[in-house]
Structure 1
Amino acid sequence: MQIKTRATRPIDGQKPGTSGLRKTTEVFSQSDFLQNYVQSMFNVVEPAGKTYVIGGDGRYFNDVAIAKMLRMAAANGVKKVIVGRGGLLSTPAASHLIRKYETDGGFILSASHNPGGPKGDFGLKYNIPNGGPAPEAITNAIYEQTKTLTEYHIAQDDAPSITEEGRFALGDMEIEVIDPVADYAALMETLIDFDAIRDLISRGFTLRFDAMHAITGPYAVEILERRLGAPHGSVVNRRPSPDFGGGHPDPNPVWAKDLVDHLMDPDGPDFGAASDGDGDRNMIMGRGIYVTPSDSLAVIAANAHLAPGYAGGIAGIARSMPTSGAADRVAAKLGVEAHQTPTGWKFFGTLLDAGRATICGEESAGTGSNHVREKDGLWAVLMWLNIIAARKQSVQEIMDDHWAEYGRTYYSRHDYEAVDSDVANTLMDDLRDRLETLPGKSFAGLTVTHAQDFDYTDPVDGSRATAQGIILNFEGGARAVLRLSGTGTQGATIRLYLENHEDPAGNLAQDPQKALERVARAADQIAELEKRTGRDAPDVIT
């Protein structure tokens, strides 16, 4: 094998966000853009003699990028690469492979819930040997490499085809192409009561899973239809597509409207769910009811003992700061630790590794446990099916019982998308400068009790993360959070998170937007969201 060292120069805009580097496909496919970033990662992780997992969600450019990465891996002395057949691996499946085969890490190609295709988005991130996203110390080091890079190494030979399972060679590097689904499905059988779910389905329970033309389709077909016995066709939009069927692979009521329409029909299925581009997010519904991700996290945590993998109880619950406090109330009742971390699954890793958390979740449709070090959409779906089978209740009945015990935390997220970056940053900076002046003042009839810019110190390793989002607390327990999203590729997305808790004896049947109306108006008056963005309403409400 001949190795070519090619001269290059730094390319602007290669700073990783909360989950790796995400850019438009057009940017990622520009000359040397991918190669520069891959070489910068290799320079930091020192890959010679090591083994890695590589796979992605099948979006446009996935196959081209993997072929180039295999050639670069061989040129940089990698010993072995494990890759999913066709270059396909869901993000949680990739995390499991890293852990099961004790590799030195992995490279995941995805822009998660962002659109795909030639005009869509692409992404790449490095996961460390525990299976989780690289911490900021590593991503910062990668970014520093991108600013000084002068050359990259690539094999002149073509990479072998990865469309069939088997073992292949590229120079001295071994490439093992595996079934992308088998190991993950086997893991789920150790955690979830498949017998109980099979029995539930055999008695006429109906479900609809929308894979959104994304990576979870093959996983859901294998598990839900073949292993659990759901009728053929229960999994819809099952074939992964490079552009996700022209849709937006984000599992929420806006982008999964077809699923919502089916579940809101009085004659609809008993249960509905969706997953996103790379399979790490989820949406849960019952007939006539949508379950917010914050509530879903709380219910899973409260009922985890019903699944075989968690029969001994859980050690703790961790949630991202913008996620509602519903899970904290569960932790208090169970007598386990409750952790509030910055947004980004990487912040859960130390807690999981130290045994201080078992169940984790984010308001952005991410839920998971200590079985991998990524959020896991299909796992969350299976946990819900396990809970339904064990409790012998509908989703609505489960939620009613949960709220009757813990109260209901009304919750919603308002997204202002593709805002001019300077406008968004100035809005947040101006708000930070005013935080000390806000307590005691009233807005829309709500008095601010506390205002802070959230900083975090990891209780395990002491690492610090600052300026992670602004929290506004109001009298009566209402809360608003503002932060800039790190997952977009166009301008900036301002996210406003709203919550208002109602005790068990209160009104538990309100329309969420009505219950949150005053909180939303107060947050807008404080931050001047509509005035500064020029929007008279959020672009997306979930």
Structure 2
Amino acid sequence: MTPIKFGTDGWRAIIAKEFTVENVARVTEATVQWLKDNTNGTSSVIIGHDCRFAGEMFAKTAAIVFAKGGVQVKLASGFVSTPMVSLGTCKENADLGIVITASHNPPAYNGYKIKGSYGGPLLPEKVQEIEDLIPNSSDFKYDEEEFKALQAKGLIQDIDLEGMYIAAVEENFDLDAIRNSGLKFAYDAMYGAGQNVIRKILPDAVLLHCEDNPGFMGQAPEPIHKNLLEFSDLIKNSGDIAAGLATDGDADRIGLYNSKGEFVDSHHIILLLIKYLVEQKKMTGKVVTAFSASVKVKQLCDHFGLEHETVKIGFKYICSHMISEDVLLGGEESGGIAIKGHVPERDGIWMGLVIWEYMAKSGKSLEQLIDEVYAIVGKFAFQRNDLHLTESVKQSIIERCKKDEFKSFGSMSVADIQKIDGFKYFFNEDEWVMIRPSGTEPVLRTYAEAETLQKAEDILNACKQEILD
């Protein structure tokens, strides 16, 4: 028996090793049972898969198990992004959404995400209930003829989630303003599931890696700068691209570049979105960010009179607020951001279009818009360093953190410590370093924020020296 555990966002495993037809069937059998326990009579699911190897087969496996369990299935035709499944789940009033995706993980992985009826991550306690129902084994055998027979009976139906998503984009954005702005935009799909959308809505955009390649050219489709150097160079060398958008394998995370090919991190994106939504769209609501996000978010919220709350790392914690409160924006350091008026789900393409609309309507460059944010909260830079250590060294450092043994890092004295999810050491109201262990691997994540990138890197180096001394 392979134990199946759901992590921060879904279950992920290596294809053909732990991620097999049998194990996908096991998870789905548990989900069928959970639906029987938690719904009155008939229930329905939306299922989609991204561009990864064998995604269609795994999605059909889930579809067969659901249909045989009496659950009405709507299965996406072709690969789709996670936000498309989430939007479809919400619009179709389905009980759950299932996405076969490993998001930004390396190409050897696939995964299984579960979405609630509201179109966002199923809440942790509900996921745990499903996990507890997973059987030790399954006698399921994949059979294409069985799939076709269930289709013929109407128990599995096709659904055009990409078409539904594009219709929502056309309804919610001033695409004419973007198309007629005279600005040239670029998009790197990282061979992921967002690759068709920009091509269809903005045919003049410069496209990179917008073709189907289940191996992602050997690169984990995570939209961070070290994975996007080709995209950065494309923008730098073009001389006329105003901004570049990148999304991960299932298109729920965002990466952004300015006209110089410089990476714009998610902290800056969150600040830009808040400023645009409040000043130009006249929107209000609470802002919820994960523990590793910039302190500048709270400062901008104070400026606009918005309530702000910090939560644990993991978008599911943000989602729980978005479905129960009036939330304007929810965001995390890793590029997952959601806004009011859309599903309570991370959506890289949607956030990128908001930024492009902001640029088009203001007539200002991304650099100018960021300078306007700096005029309110001051300049800042953020940096992260993942330390690969033995598990015993990792645990010993965390024990020292728990005992408040670290009083300074280099020349920086600790003025305050926060422990919402990890350990955040503040030197003053603008500068801090954070230490947080990975829950799944022998990695210690360290983060720092300061006025300049050099200062943030110096803090991280001092932190590394202090904790490994």
Q: Provide TM-score, normalisation by structure 1.
A: 0.80
2:76 aligned residue: 84
In the alignment, structure 1 residue 407 sits paired with structure 2 residue 378: yes
In the alignment, structure 1 residue 42 sits paired with structure 2 residue 32: yes
Equivalent residues of 1:447, 1:475 under 8 A apart: no
Q: Secondary structure at the match of 1:158?
A: helix
After the TM superposition, which of the residue ranges 294-303 and 340-349 deviates more from structure 2?
A: 340-349
The alpha carbon displacement at 1:285 in A equals 1.1
In the alignment, structure 1 residue 356 sits paired with structure 2 residue 326: yes
Residues 1:427 and 1:364: Cα distance change in structure 2 (over 3 Å): farther
Match runs of 1:69-148 below 5 Å? 69-78=62-71, 80-86=72-78, 88-116=79-107, 120-146=108-134
Among 235, 239, 262, the alignment partner of 2:207 is 235
2:298 aligned residue: 328
Partner AA of 1:329 in structure 2: Q
The alpha carbon displacement at 1:195 in A equals 2.0
The alpha carbon displacement at 1:30 in A equals 4.3
In the alignment, structure 1 residue 433 sits paired with structure 2 residue 373: no
Residues 1:480 and 1:158: Cα distance change in structure 2 (over 3 Å): farther
Residues 1:274 and 1:353: Cα distance change in structure 2 (over 3 Å): same
In the alignment, structure 1 residue 527 sits paired with structure 2 residue 450: no
After the TM superposition, which of the residue ranges 517-526 and 58-67 deviates more from structure 2?
A: 517-526
For 1:19 and 1:44, the matched residues in 2 are separated by 18
The alpha carbon displacement at 1:37 in A equals 2.2
Q: Secondary structure at the match of 1:28?
A: coil
Residues 1:497 and 1:71: Cα distance change in structure 2 (over 3 Å): same
Among 391, 412, 415, the alignment partner of 1:449 is 415
Equivalent residues of 2:410, 2:466 under 8 A apart: no
Equivalent residues of 2:381, 2:449 under 8 A apart: yes
Partner AA of 2:423 in structure 1: I
In the alignment, structure 1 residue 195 sits paired with structure 2 residue 135: no
Residues 1:518 and 1:150: Cα distance change in structure 2 (over 3 Å): closer
1:177 aligned residue: 158
Equivalent residues of 1:301, 1:359 under 8 A apart: yes
The alpha carbon displacement at 1:154 in A equals 7.3
Q: Secondary structure at the match of 1:358?
A: strand
1:26 aligned residue: 16
Among 208, 220, 241, the alignment partner of 1:248 is 220
Equivalent residues of 1:84, 1:177 under 8 A apart: yes
In the alignment, structure 1 residue 315 sits paired with structure 2 residue 285: yes
Equivalent residues of 2:25, 2:138 under 8 A apart: no
2:449 aligned residue: 499
Q: Provide TM-score, normalisation by structure 2.
A: 0.92
2:350 aligned residue: 379
For 1:415 and 1:379, the matched residues in 2 are separated by 29
2:387 aligned residue: 416
Residues 1:184 and 1:266: Cα distance change in structure 2 (over 3 Å): closer
In the alignment, structure 1 residue 274 sits paired with structure 2 residue 253: no
Write out per-residue CA displacement over residues 127-170 of structure 1, whole angstroms, 9 at most, x where no aligned residue: 11111112121222233223x64656779773546xxxxxx844
Q: Secondary structure at the match of 2:273?
A: helix
Give structure 1 regions of 4+ aligned residues with deviation exceeding 6 angstroms: 152-157
Q: Unaligned 5+ residue runs, structure 1?
A: 1-9, 162-167, 455-467, 503-509, 532-542
1:284 aligned residue: 256
Q: Secondary structure at the match of 1:98?
A: helix
Give the fraction of aligned pairs with identical amino acids, expressed as a percent.
22
